[in-house]
Amino acid sequence: MRINRHLATVAVIGLAACSPKENADTPTTGAEAPSVTNVTVSLETAPSSSDSASAALVWPGESGGATYILGAVEDGIEVYDAAGLTLSKTDGGEIESFDLIHGFGANSGPVLFSLDTSNSTVSAFTMNNGTLTPVQADIIQSEVLLEGMCAHKSPLDGEAYAFLLGSGGQIEQWNIFTKADGTVSAKLVRTLQLGTEPKFCVADSRSNSVYVTEEAVGVWRFDADVEAETVPELIDVKKFGHFTGEVGGLALHHTEKGQTVLFASDVETSQINLYDVTDDHRYVGSAKFSGAGSIDAVENAGSLFAGSGYLVLADEDNGEEATNFKLAKISDIASAFNFDQLTERTDEDPSGAFALVKPSAETAPVADGGDAADDPAIWVHPTDPGQSLIIGTNKQGGIYVYNLDGSVHQYVPDGRMNNVDLRYNVKVGDRAATLVVASNRTEESISIYELDEQTGKLQDIADGIQKTDMPDPYGLCLYQSPKDGSTYVFMNEKGGLVRQWQLGEGNPGKVKATAVREFEVGSTAEGCVADDDTGALFVAEEDIALWKYGAEPGDGTAREKITDPQMNHGLKDDLEGVSIYYGAGTSGYIVLSSQGNNSYALFDREAPHAYVGSFRVIANSDAGIDGSSETDGLDIISTPLGPDFPYGVFVAQDGRNISPAERQNFKLVPWEHIADKLSLEKYTGRDPRK
Ligand code: CA
Ligand code: CA
Ligand code: CA
Ligand code: CA
Ligand code: CA
Ligand code: CA
């Protein structure tokens, strides 16, 4: 019986006393007795100058072996040579923990980031012939009382991060970067939360995750991607799992063949638990570290570190002498636990599949908290493209009009507007009106506005409440037929029903919707878009597939599958917002939100709609704009929108508006950022009014 498989299904946040007993799937009889294997320590450092040796690591040599051993003690950092003899001591304040980042800035060797718990600051050092050289002091100054830290290099965006563990259970994730003037700076990106004080952590650049020890509870895993879900996964716990008492330090080891081992210290038994990371963190067994010759055994190891061929353990009890650090060879542990038998990691490098692009602007946050921003639409100014506007829904309360710099131009608090779309030149009386149409879940209706092309403001133009007769109206898109210029509304209902209405004049100067067609998609569908040139209607059935129907009222139920998450198109459900980039003629792209992996997939606009590639929107740290994630609605346009968007813009709802944490909003990405990365068409000849 493997306890972590059961516990991993418990989604819990900020929980101090997650009693596994409350979960029906969880065994109540305790875990199997741990299998304990003895490993002999092969090296120890000289006694430290302090009684609290809090952390250690091995400084790698250029050829991969160990060159120095570093020990964090009460009042600084001790440097030992590869045989464990003391070389130097650097005053680094009250160092509780430290970690290395490889490839930081212009540094050829690793950079050490150390945490001084006396004043909650992080400083950086490089190594010079056995002496630590300060790069910069106090790069991070946290407001929080800190207990521990670990460093991370993201495989997705290549950025360096520090996870700082706060005494109140909060885990701060800071981005550390080098500014143009060469100084190192840091920015708080997001805060994760555990119920009680976390003490140790280790980050994994291969899986982009961070493991954190909650001393009194167990070991948790968070997705280390700044845009990811913040709910942790429980890896192992005290009492019902493989910890007897206090949970101590963590370390990670990647074998050359692709296995990943997580080490976690069970302080009370002086044992180190091993987990097969790739096999769902399966508990492999526990190691006890005995001495040899003059070296004594390891007791109550708090901190751990794996690297340069060694597992380094802080030894609480070094006999008659002051606390020191013991080193066991990874190769000895590997043969004792048969690392060859562990699961090899075969999944792709998370950075491999996606082009990474940066936004240049973001809108103001919406008025409501929680999941609120949803779907954007782009309006092009008739004479001054730089004055174009973004319409965006707040599905908790209304509809926004934003300027291209993201500032609010207008807010219409008319109800729970879910999706929005717009078309030009809709005949109302003897006028050609620009209509903005939204699915209104408060009134279960179609909300219809005219956008005043002089003021850029919305005005209700519906001929009374345009009832949908749908129990739960959801997605919405418009279609303007190339045959006769008729304008249609498609609305999707949560149960999978799609209904089509034709827009026409009702009472003089007012617009009404007349139902003309309906069909069933099969299950919940929201995102949709119609191609005004080819008459195709694309509907995203969230859990299943992107479908192509005909958009004309007589087109019936015939459909074709464009893509689904089983095809090798970088998709993970839900499939959400979808829009069309109009290129020359019938060329261009269909863009689809792949909500489950925070990415966007592109397909040829022309049949057979081949997969073109995928991208993610990552943080533009220089501009202080975070990336986008968990995107619902999106829109895209090829028409130039002034100097900031000379090739059009991609707009995506952002489910997690972070750094600083704010209510949801929309991110704006210049099309050339995407087109240049994926070698795509940059067409500037489309007039959306024609
Ligand atoms: Ca000992
Ligand atoms: Ca959402
Ligand atoms: Ca949805
Ligand atoms: Ca974001
Ligand atoms: Ca939505
Ligand atoms: Ca932001």
pLDDT (mean) for 667-684 = 98
* Separation of CA 585 and ligand 1 centre (Å): 76
Alpha carbon 134 to its chain centroid, in Å, reads 32
Number of domains observed in the structure of the chain: 2
Q: For residue range 527-583, what is the model confidence (pLDDT) as tens digits? A: 999 999 999 999 999 999 999 999 999 999 999 999 999 999 999 999 999 999 999
Q: For residue range 126-157, what is the model confidence (pLDDT) as tens digits? A: 999 889 999 999 999 999 999 999 999 998 88
- Tell me, yes or no, whether 445 and 542 share the same domain: yes
* Separation of CA 494 and ligand 3 centre (Å): 9
The gap between the terminal CA atoms of the chain, to the nearest Å, is 66
The protein residues having their C-beta less than 5 angstroms from ligand 6 (an ion) are 626, 657
Q: For residue range 586-632, what is the model confidence (pLDDT) as tens digits? A: 999 999 999 999 999 999 999 999 999 999 999 998 899 999 999 99
* Separation of CA 179 and ligand 6 centre (Å): 20
Give pLDDT, residue 287: 98
Classify residue 631 as exposed, middle or buried by CB count within 10 Å of its CB (0-12, 13-18, 19+): buried
Ligand number nearest CA of 320 is: 1
- Tell me, yes or no, whether 293 and 359 share the same domain: no
Distance CA 396, CA 366 (A): 9
Q: Do the beta carbons of residue 187 and residue 203 sit within 8 Å? A: no
* Separation of CA 319 and ligand 1 centre (Å): 6
- How many beta carbons lie within 10 A of that of residue 316, not counting itself? 17
Distances in Å between the alpha carbon of 609 and those of 173, 211, 313, 547?
A: 40, 41, 56, 11
* Separation of CA 99 and ligand 2 centre (Å): 36
DSSP 8-state assignment for residue 268: G
Residue 178 zone, left/alpha/beta (φ > 0; ψ -120 to 50; rest): beta
Tokens representing residue 76 in the block: 């600084």
Tokens representing residue 285 in the block: 């067994």
* Separation of CA 447 and ligand 3 centre (Å): 19
* Separation of CA 120 and ligand 6 centre (Å): 25
pLDDT (mean) for 426-435 = 95
Q: What is the mean pLDDT of the chain?
A: 92
* Separation of CA 663 and ligand 2 centre (Å): 12
* Separation of CA 289 and ligand 1 centre (Å): 9
Ligand number nearest CA of 576 is: 3
* Separation of CA 366 and ligand 6 centre (Å): 12
Would 25 be classed as within a structural domain? no
- Tell me, yes or no, whether 318 and 363 share the same domain: no
The last residue of a domain, from among 305, 339, 373 = 339
Q: Where are the alpha helices (DSSP H) in 72-207?
A: none
* Separation of CA 218 and ligand 1 centre (Å): 24
Distance CA 662, CA 674 (A): 26
Q: Do the beta carbons of residue 77 and residue 128 sit within 8 Å? A: no
pLDDT (mean) for 277-306 = 94
Give pLDDT, residue 7: 42
Distance CA 399, CA 393 (A): 4
Using the structure block, give the residue that is written with the tokens 């279609």.
479
Distance CA 460, CA 36 (A): 73
- Tell me, yes or no, whether 409 and 550 share the same domain: yes
- Tell me, yes or no, whether 516 and 376 share the same domain: yes
Specify the CATH number for the domain of residue 176.
2.120.10.30
Q: Which domain holds residue 666?
A: 352-678
The last residue of a domain, from among 318, 339, 360 = 339
Q: Do the beta carbons of residue 404 and residue 361 sit within 8 Å? A: yes
Q: Nearest 5 degrees, angle CA 561-CA 566-CA 569?
A: 80
Distance CA 158, CA 678 (A): 19
The last residue of a domain, from among 309, 339, 369 = 339
* Separation of CA 583 and ligand 5 centre (Å): 27
pLDDT greater than 70 at residue 20: no
Would 685 be classed as within a structural domain? no
* Separation of CA 632 and ligand 5 centre (Å): 5
Tokens representing residue 140 in the block: 């991070």
DSSP 8-state assignment for residue 181: T
pLDDT (mean) for 396-412 = 98
Ligand number nearest CA of 296 is: 1
Q: Which of 56-70, 399-413, 440-454, 455-469 has the lowest mean pLDDT?
A: 56-70
